[in-house]
Amino acid sequence: MHSSAVFLIEFGAVILGLGLLGRLAGRLQFSPIPLYLLAGLAFGEGGLLPLGTSEEFVATGAEIGVILLLLMLGLEYTASDLVSNLKTQYRAGLVDAVLNALPGAVMALLLGWGLVAAVVLAGVTWISSSGVIAKVLGDLGRLGNRETPVILSILVLEDLAMAVYLPIVTALLAGAGLAAGSVTLAIALGVAGLVLFLAVRYGRHISRFVSSDDPEKLLLVVLGLTLLVAGIAQQLQVSAAVGAFLVGIALSGEVAEGTHHLLSPLRDLFAAVFFVFFGLHTDPASIPPVLLPAMTLAVLTASTKIATGYWAARRAGISERGRWRAGGTLVARGEFSIVIAGLAVTAGIEPSLGPLATAYVLILVVLGPLTARWTEPVARRVTARLAARRESAPAPATAEGGGVAGAENGGDRVAEEPRETVDDPDAVGRRS
């Protein structure tokens, strides 16, 4: 059979399969990401039906998928959002980074993978999945809850941190030594800072230049500009994804809204191809040996994410139940953990890192919606049981009546609370 015909058959089958999997995930009210990863495992080397002629095209599509993911993320913010979030919520961001990046770094060092792999795995365990969490918040009807702005603030800070983290990882992956790596890192941060300055200072002019009433021209100009900046950024060791993210930040107003509308279907298509591509480069046989560390990391970092959300919500004055809901909602990891691991896989860093990241994301992208739903009820029942035990315990002889009063106070803490809402959910930014 002619090679072009084989290519069309293979690629068509992949896209059709992704569409059916996405439809199945929608009916199950679940994220399609784990199904896309499993499809990649099935079509890759060692899988059920390895691809032959279309793998190179899928690789290019995966690169475009990452670029569009970060461009769309940048479109969610204006330059002023970027600066104000950094100023007001940096403490929650620091707690989030320390509690959730540290377990990944320590695990990589314990496995003997070295410093660069430790920095990569730290990023994999740090960043929550904004796509999965946004869907879960909508499905559970919590967009108006008081803890939701806290959750969104943490997600925003993680995304902003990506603008600094990705150039560092890219430089470390490309650097041959300390001196060369330092120079590459300095160039990367300098270029990222320059583009960010241009976005903040001249974003209005850039938006005016890109703006067009014709959707076709707007699509071509924005897509062309994004790919051009991403390519230049990659040439300067900044990471194409960061270049796309900064282009998104530079666009605002009607241009950002129009671009978001036009590019959403393209983003969904190429993002699905990206997840398949990541699965293609993971041999299913390599997952069982890393399953134990992946499960250990998943349990540990699910706990640290719950602690992060609880702490941030408590600091914002949210009630006990809202604190648990905030923590449980942040557990899911997804697209950006795969993006980070994908950079390391492409650079040839530690062969086991890709399988571990795949298993880790598969576990948490399934577990995340469950913790979002059940963390608060489980915590409430445990608290009620502890309060009942205190109530049934005999009162101390030296404090007449004191034990009963204490139990009553404990019972008040777990009493039903009214649903928490805010008058203006949009006040937290466009990300919701």
Q: CA–CA separation, 333 vs 367, rounded Å?
A: 9
Q: In the prediction, which pLDDT does 100 show? A: 95
At residue 164's C-alpha, the angle toward residues 340 and 306, to 5°, is 65
Q: Enumerate residues 6+ apart whose C-beta is below 8 A from 11.
A: 54, 57, 58
Q: In the prediction, which pLDDT does 421 show? A: 42
CB 39 within 8 A of CB 280: no
pLDDT for residue 79 is more than 70:
no
Task: Please count the helices (runs of H) and the strands (runs of E) in the chain.
Answer: 17, 0
Q: Enumerate residues 6+ apart whose C-beta is below 8 A from 402.
A: 395, 396
3-state class (DSSP) for residue 13:
helix
Q: In the prediction, which pLDDT does 324 show? A: 94
Closest CA to 347 of 184, 110, 133: 184
pLDDT for residue 183 is more than 50:
yes
Number of Cβ within a 10 Å radius of residue 294: 21
Q: What is the mean pLDDT of residues 162-171?
A: 76
Residue 74 φ/ψ, nearest 5 degrees: -65, -30
pLDDT for residue 235 is more than 70:
yes
Give the confidence band of 82 by pLDDT, cuts at 50, 70, 90: low
Lowest model confidence (mean pLDDT) among 133-142, 244-253, 385-394:
133-142
Q: In the prediction, which pLDDT does 180 show? A: 61
pLDDT for residue 331 is more than 60:
yes
pLDDT in tens, 241-258: 777 877 887 887 788 888
Chain-centroid distance of CA 413 in Å reads 33
3-state helix, strand, coil in the chain (%, to 5): 80, 0, 20
Number of Cβ within a 10 Å radius of residue 238: 27
Closest CA to 285 of 18, 65, 48: 48
Structure tokens at 225: 């500009």
Higher pLDDT, 152 or 428: 152
Q: In the prediction, which pLDDT does 426 show? A: 39
pLDDT for residue 231 is more than 60:
yes
pLDDT in tens, 313-326: 998 888 999 999 99
What pTM was estimated for this model as a whole? Answer: 0.69
Q: In the prediction, which pLDDT does 419 show? A: 44
Lowest model confidence (mean pLDDT) among 51-65, 102-116, 358-372:
51-65
Q: What is the mean pLDDT of residues 50-59?
A: 69
Q: In the prediction, which pLDDT does 110 show? A: 93
Helix (H) or strand (E) holding 137: helix 130-139
pLDDT in tens, 184-194: 667 766 776 77
Q: In the prediction, which pLDDT does 404 show? A: 41
Lowest model confidence (mean pLDDT) among 47-51, 159-163, 370-374:
47-51
Q: In the prediction, which pLDDT does 125 show? A: 94
Give the confidence band of 55 by pLDDT, cuts at 50, 70, 90: low
pLDDT in tens, 282-315: 777 888 888 999 999 999 999 999 999 999 999 8
At residue 16's C-alpha, the angle toward residues 13 and 19, to 5°, is 150
Q: Determine what percent of the chain is predicted with pLDDT higher than 70.
A: 78
Q: Which sign does the torsion angle of CA 196, 201, 203, 205 carry? A: negative
